[in-house]
Amino acid sequence: LNSFKVTINPFNKTVEIAENSSLYDAIHKSGIPIHADCGGEGKCGKCRVIVDKGDYRSEKNRLVTPEDSARNIVLACRTFPGSDITITIPDKTLLPYDYIEPLRSCPIAIKAETIDPLVKRFSLRLEEPSLDDNISDLERVKRGLKKAGVSGAIGCSLATMRKLAPLLRENGWMCDIYLLSADNSIVDAGRPSGGSRKLGIAIDIGTTTVATEFVDLESGRSIASHSLYNRQISCGADIIHRIVFSQKDDGLEKLRSLILATINETVKKITGESGRPREDIICAVLSGNTTMEHLLLAIDPKYIREEPYIPAATRFPILTAQAVGLDIPPHSPVMLTPSVGSYVGGDITSGVTASGMNNSDQLTLFMDIGTNGEIVIGNSEWMIACACSAGPAFEGGGIGDGMTATSGAIESVKIFDMNRPPVLTVIGGGQPRGICGSAMIDLMSELYYCGLINQKGKFNPDISKMIRKIKNTLGYIVAPKERTEHGKDIVITEIDIANLIRAKGAIWAGVSTLLKKLEIPFGDLQRVLIAGGLGNSLDIERSVSIGLLPDVERDKFCYLGNASLSGARLALLSEKARRELDEIASKMTYVDLSTTPGYMDEFVAALFIPHTDASLFPSMSS
Amino acid sequence: LNSFKVTINPFNKTVEIAENSSLYDAIHKSGIPIHADCGGEGKCGKCRVIVDKGDYRSEKNRLVTPEDSARNIVLACRTFPGSDITITIPDKTLLPYDYIEPLRSCPIAIKAETIDPLVKRFSLRLEEPSLDDNISDLERVKRGLKKAGVSGAIGCSLATMRKLAPLLRENGWMCDIYLLSADNSIVDAGRPSGGSRKLGIAIDIGTTTVATEFVDLESGRSIASHSLYNRQISCGADIIHRIVFSQKDDGLEKLRSLILATINETVKKITGESGRPREDIICAVLSGNTTMEHLLLAIDPKYIREEPYIPAATRFPILTAQAVGLDIPPHSPVMLTPSVGSYVGGDITSGVTASGMNNSDQLTLFMDIGTNGEIVIGNSEWMIACACSAGPAFEGGGIGDGMTATSGAIESVKIFDMNRPPVLTVIGGGQPRGICGSAMIDLMSELYYCGLINQKGKFNPDISKMIRKIKNTLGYIVAPKERTEHGKDIVITEIDIANLIRAKGAIWAGVSTLLKKLEIPFGDLQRVLIAGGLGNSLDIERSVSIGLLPDVERDKFCYLGNASLSGARLALLSEKARRELDEIASKMTYVDLSTTPGYMDEFVAALFIPHTDASLFPSMSS
């Protein structure tokens, strides 16, 4: 087989690929992260690149116009070099590489006196050995731990046994011992550190974004945090595409290395910013949906998407950073939050733990609106959960100008004058480059209640100068090109709105089906907790107005932000939280919506703004 | 710094070393195992090599004669190349590379119905999952194990989680699960295997020899076994020299890699011979003295030889083969037998477990005569132990023509005619190349009772033609050169006998001191168990006659052979044995002889054949 060199600009990076490999394969090989919602199947049109030089063959694709072709714009996944070739990846195709402040997370404070971290420090002062007291160094340390109140058998890592002898002698028989609470095993030992404390890291592995937080294990204080797009996006925007990708040659290993690269990059960034060295990290808790946790551990997720939808595992032993591949001290324990099933994952058990609904008598609706939508209803006695295939619309996936709630994202929209651009707020305060979930909700609400779109989301083109023909559809100019970062109009199209309606309809249908199954009227809900990456400026009123959230008293709502990350942080700090995670995973009943009678009807009925049944939204009819 | 090439014959292997490095360093670098009892300190004279070509500088050494120098025979550890150089390693310097049948080990049968292996196989037939029964594959397996009687929390290795999903589906929801008894964790899973069983390996890591045995974990049957010289011998013959060597640059890592190379070589050999693939191995139990266990795990043994003689650890968690470096499937659990202290190691707890003395009412003396001598006295109620620096004489160390009890070793000697060569038996039946422990005992006894040596071990040169002047001392021709494998005389010299007397004296003094401390007369001993590498033809009568063993009724004696290996095998097969190992390690009291009043007097008094106090050996005076 021949091979060709592919030079990728603006990075001036050259990779060699075999004949019959696509430009998409070449970009993958280069490690440059790009958008590819469909995972390289020619269906999403996100992997556009420009061929600057060289021969190629492109498969015909409806997402590539004759004008595109004339300008050598091609889909990387459908284009095969016929010679050495030079391409340019346009900005819009590149996965943004910004570090972003994670969403405000759940405002859960943990009292210092109740902190019982995953790995606990014991500062020991031991007796010097003598001929009469000549037990081994390790037995001496264990004796010290027992005096300090540790009961039961105590284990020890090999790495610690290796360092113990010189450590004790160089520090006058004083040392700090780090004990993993789960099994009373010593994971590390160090010099007596006085006031300085070790850090834990909490990581939320979202399908779209990865958020990492450094946590002081003794004060419980968050030191610093950052988020990054999950680089697996190059292999598909949602978990189904990721699972499909995992079945390709080396697909699983590639997905694993991409999520590890993403996590390790956030860790590196925070160590740099916080001035706390990597060596200060002693443990990690990771929380992700079932597929993300499988991919992280290179466990084949294949059967998650085949009926009867069985994950390989839902509970994971505590592993070492080395075994997982995290770039923190190799013997650090790594805990993954437990899943309930294939579509209710560790992110949900974690979010529910953070929400505290498992300790409340109040009948609570918990909604995680992320790349998927998960719904939990219950209280301290019982919990029932389902997952809706909402798709990544509210995180920016499948929306032409969509993006996650990060710097440059339009986060709220208000239309004052139908014929002039709306008033916007932009995260970070600069010029906008896209629209995040909270602004999409605002737009749907504003467009509908101003009469620019009808109940079905179709534009009324005659009513506003801001509605334009865009390619084969209609769109509303959210920000004209003069005011955007990239000098192009930011628009929301009928196709985008249709996607958003499907997404909110799926979530609504989930809530509605579950409540009907339980014979609970909406009005009986005592709390509605919303988690997910919608953006900090989520407007509850407008979310109700489009039929995403139920029309109940507004003081029942609480926006939790990234509850999965909060739960991971709690698990770092609290033995009670770790126990609760397990209990929640055991207690939660999973309802498969695809086989639940009535779900499809609920879904179809919800494909209107706010709903075909206006009586469900009494406060909107006024 | 310059570097020189050293070509090593007869292997035609070339290594490059820095200026100021010795030929000993070069040989180490080449990986060719040689004798070096003193660990390269210029004191033992074992590392002789011949320089064929090239410049060199040799330090003056009393062990190198002018004749040696004239023939370019040098000590590798005292010789430094001044140019590229070619050397030859003579046979006698090379560590024999033969595989040897291990000693007959303790005849302990374990009843099939009481077998409860370290890793137990469960053959499961699981229910196929459905939408109504959609727990994860791993939870399904756990459910199956619980039905099969496993109680408590069940863990699982990452590697098993990775293989579970396809395994179950390809085998109609039947599989074999391998469960580590210690913590109820799944260490492996495989296809339903029907009758075929996994193997465990028992390994005795002796200072001088390593013995490995493959054991069927379900029948308890030994499949095959082999021994090999411990390649660490290149770094010193006894544990003190090994510890000194471990303090050199990379010394610890080198010692670790040498013991791993030795073990892995025995495993490879047995897999080849038995036709059972490496993949059939599922776990291992290793038993060695405290220093050997430290070196295997690359734990610095430094403080074992410095007062107050503290090991880093005496109890080790169950590790994986990967973490230890064993060349068996990486996730196989590896157990190390627990030590009592710096000089009473896992080989002794293992040997005592195998001996069963911990379950007996009889007052028992257990003696392990290996490179060190360890003594245990006690019964099911109590145990007290000590270690005597006997040195490796009875395993062939420090004896000119000494060797371990393996093919080519003279194992028994009888003098019929003082002026003619003695009658010999040779292990394997061929021509001899050295003398093993049992023959050394025979020789001392025969030479003494025939009047060829006196009570102090000095030759009477006039009495026999077989006594010759050998270098600066006298020696007895055990086998004339016409009848030996290598065509040189096999002799025992006055120096050798002095070494043997010191060795037996040290062991005797240990027994005697301990008994006096306990105020127990010799006659009260109800059993005397002898373990160690003395050879299968150990003659009890002669051992008593030279004062190595106490003069008690002969039917109280039992030779156990390699009891450490037997104990390791028992630990593979029996939960009771694993529990007993721990109990023995906790229960045994260690007595440090070097600080015990009277020990030195006992030692000096024992430097005679059989002893200065003949009344201790009433049966000898007849």
The pLDDT-based confidence of B622 (bands split at 50, 70, 90) is low
The two tokens of residue A415 are 């239309």
Min Cα–Cα distance to chain B from A164, Å: 7
Query: What CA–CA distance (Å, rounded) separates B392 from B242?
Result: 13
Strands B319-320 and B333-336 come out as antiparallel
Q: Which of B131, B137, B595 sits opposite A312 (nearest CB)?
A: B137
Global ipTM? 0.91
- Quick one: which of B352, B388, B383 has its CA closest to B370? B388
Pairing of strands A434-435, A423-426: unpaired
Residue B359 DSSP one-character state: G
Please tell me the number of Cα atoms within 13 Å of B321 on its side-chain side. 22
Helices A346-355 and A563-573 pack at an angle, to 10 degrees, of 80
Side-chain-side CA neighbours of residue B371 (13 Å):
28
Classify strands B185-190 and B174-180 as parallel, antiparallel or unpaired.
antiparallel
- Token pair belonging to B76: 């590798």
Average pLDDT (A43-70) is: 93
Which of A165, A297, A308 lies closest to B302 in CB terms?
Answer: A165
User: What is the C-alpha separation between A529 and A478, in angstroms, rounded?
Assistant: 29
- Asked whether the beta carbons of B241 and B37 are under 8 A apart, the reply is yes
Question: Who among A162, A308, A315 is closest to B131 (CB)?
Answer: A308
User: CA A508 to CA A605: how far, in whole Å?
Assistant: 10
CB atoms within 10 A of CB B618: 9
Query: Cβ(B408)–Cβ(B432) under 8 Å?
Result: yes
Yes or no: say if B473 and B495 are a contact pair by the CB < 8 Å rule. Answer: yes
3-state secondary structure B364-405: EEEEEECCCEEEEEECCCCEEEEEECCCCHHHCCCCCCECCC
Of the candidates B138, B158, B313, which has its C-beta nearest A161's C-beta?
Answer: B313
In chain B, the residue whose alpha carbon lies closest to the alpha carbon of A298 is B162
CB pairs under 8 A between A and B: 139
Q: Which residues contact A126 (CB under 8 A, 6 or more apart)?
A: A140, A141, A143, A144, A168, A173, A174, A175
The neighbouring-strand residues paired with A425 are A412
Q: Output the six-digit token pair for B308.
A: 């107050």
The beta strands (E) that lie in A379-433 are given as: 383-388, 409-414, 423-426
Residue (of B324, B496, B503) closest to B399 by Cα position: B496
Whether A342 sits inside 8 A of B134 (CB atoms) is: yes
pLDDT of residue A90: 93
Residue A217: CA count within 13 A, CB half-sphere: 27
pLDDT band at B107 (very low <50, low <70, confident <90, very high): low
pLDDT of A568-621, one tens digit each? 999 999 999 999 999 999 999 999 898 888 999 999 999 999 999 999 999 987
**Minimal C-alpha gap between B315 and chain A (Å):** 8
Residues of A in contact with B157 (CB under 8 A): 317
- Indicate the length of chain A as a whole number: 622
Tell me the pLDDT tens digit for each residue of A514-531.
999 999 999 999 999 999
Q: Identify whether the C-beta of residue A7 lies closer than 8 Å to the C-beta of residue A16.
A: no
pLDDT digit string, tens, across residues A124-177:
999 999 989 999 999 999 999 999 999 999 999 999 999 999 999 999 999 999
Distance (Å, rounded) from C-alpha A222 to C-alpha A569? 9
Which residue pairs, CB below 8 angstroms and at least 24 apart, start in A387-391? A387/A343, A387/A344, A387/A510, A387/A593, A388/A506, A388/A507, A388/A509, A388/A510, A388/A593, A389/A506, A390/A502, A390/A503, A390/A504, A390/A506, A390/A507, A391/A238, A391/A499, A391/A502, A391/A503, A391/A506
The tens digit of pLDDT for each residue in A576-585 reads 999 999 999 9
Predicted local distance difference test score (pLDDT) of residue A570: 94
Strand partners, A452: none
User: Which of these, B104, B509, B535, B354, lies nearest to B364 by C-alpha position?
Assistant: B354
- State the nearest Cα–Cα gap between A564 and chain B, in angstroms: 22
How many angstroms away from the CA of A119 is the closest CA of chain B? 19
For A352-373, letters b (16+ CB in 10 Å) and e give bbbbbbbeeeebbbbbbbbbbb
Mean pLDDT of the region B479-506: 94
What's residue B609's pLDDT? 94
Q: What is the pLDDT of residues B198-243, one digit of tens each?
A: 999 999 999 988 999 999 999 998 999 888 999 999 999 889 999 9
What residues are paired with B320 via a beta bridge? Answer: B333
Residue B593 backbone phi and psi in degrees, to 5: -65, -35
Which residue type, as a one-letter code, is found at position B384?
Answer: I
Q: How far apart are CA B13 and CA A402, in angstroms?
A: 66
| pLDDT at residue A101, as a whole number | 52
DSSP structural state of residue A584? H
Task: Return the ∠ at Cα A450 (arms to A449 and A453), rounded to 5°.
Answer: 80
Instruction: State how far the Cα of A340 lies from the Cα of A347, in Å rounded to an integer.
Output: 10
pLDDT 10s digits, A361-374: 999 999 998 778 89
Q: What is the DSSP letter of A601?
A: H
Q: pLDDT band at B489, cuts 50/70/90?
A: very high
| pLDDT of res. A37 | 87
pLDDT tens per residue, range A75-111 = 999 999 999 999 999 988 988 766 555 555 555 556 6
pLDDT (tens digit per residue) in A275-326: 999 999 999 999 999 999 999 999 999 999 999 999 999 999 999 999 999 9
Q: For A160, which residue in chain B has the nearest alpha carbon?
A: B299
pLDDT at A112: 66
Question: By percentage, how much of chain B surpasses pLDDT 90?
Answer: 81
With 80 as the cut, is the pLDDT of residue A474 above it? yes
Question: Are A121 and A197 contacting, i.e. CB atoms less than 8 angstroms apart?
Answer: yes
Mutation target for A interface from B136, B293, B336, B582: give the one with most A CBs within 10 A: B136
Identify whether the C-beta of residue A338 lies closer than 8 Å to the C-beta of residue A585. Answer: yes
Q: Would you say B79 and B22 are in contact if contact means Cβ atoms under 8 Å apart?
A: yes
CA distances from B361 to B358, B422, B567 (A): 8, 43, 20
Cα angle, residue A261 at apex, residues A258 and A266 outer, rounded to 5°: 130
Min Cα distance A138 → chain B (Å) is 5
DSSP codes joined into one string, A419-477: TSPPEEEETTSS---EE-HHHHHHHHHHHHHTTSB-TTS-B-TTS-TTEEEETTEEEEE
Q: What's the pLDDT band for B99 if we cut at 50, 70, 90? A: low
Question: With contacts defined as CB-CB under 8 Å, which chain B residues touch A342?
Answer: 134
Q: What pLDDT digit, counting tens, does each position of B383-412 carry? A: 999 999 888 888 888 898 998 888 899 999
Q: How far apart are CA A553 and CA A555, in angstroms?
A: 6
Exposure string over B260-287, b if 16+ CB within 10 A, otherwise e: bbbbebbbebbbeeeebeeebbbbbbbb
B7 vs B26: CA distance, rounded Å: 9
Cα–Cα distance, B119 to A313 (Å, whole number): 22
Q: For the residues B442-466, what does the mean pLDDT come to?
A: 94
Percent helix, strand, coil in chain B (nearest 5)?
35, 25, 40
Contact A297 B161 (CB under 8 A): yes
CA distances from A407 to A425, A426, A480 (A): 11, 8, 18
Please give the span between the terminal C-alpha atoms of chain A, in angstroms, as a whole number: 70
Per-residue tokens: A298: 């290179």
Instruction: Determine the pLDDT at residue B97.
Output: 64
Dist. CA A449–CA B504, nearest whole Å: 103
Backbone angles phi, psi at B612, to 5 degrees: -65, -30
**Cβ-based contacts of B165 with chain A (< 8 Å):** 299-300, 302-303, 310, 312
- For B121-171, the DSSP string reads EEEEEPPPPBTTB---HHHHHHHHHHHTT--S--EE-HHHHHHHHHHHHHT
- Shortest alpha-carbon distance between residue A519 and chain B (Å): 21
| B260-307 tens-digit pLDDT | 999 999 999 999 999 999 999 999 999 999 999 999 999 999 999 999
Question: Would you state the pLDDT for residue A537?
Answer: 74
Above pLDDT 70, what percent of chain A? 97
The residue assigned the tokens 């070739």 is A85
* Averaged confidence pLDDT in chain A: 92
Joined tokens for residue B295: 């070196």
Q: Look up tokens 């997905």; give the residue.
A: A255
CB neighbour list of residue A560: distance below 8 Å, 6 or more residues apart: A105, A106, A351, A354, A355, A529, A530, A531, A566
* Backbone angles phi and psi of A282, in degrees to 5: -125, -15
Which position has the higher pLDDT, A196 or B490? B490
Q: What pairing do the DSSP bridges indicate for beta strands B209-216 and B199-205? A: antiparallel
Q: What is the pTM of this model?
A: 0.90
Give the one of A134, A298, A341 whose C-beta lies nearest to B308's C-beta: A134
pLDDT for residue B183: 92
Report pLDDT for B270. 93
B222-229 vs B209-216, strand pairing mode: antiparallel
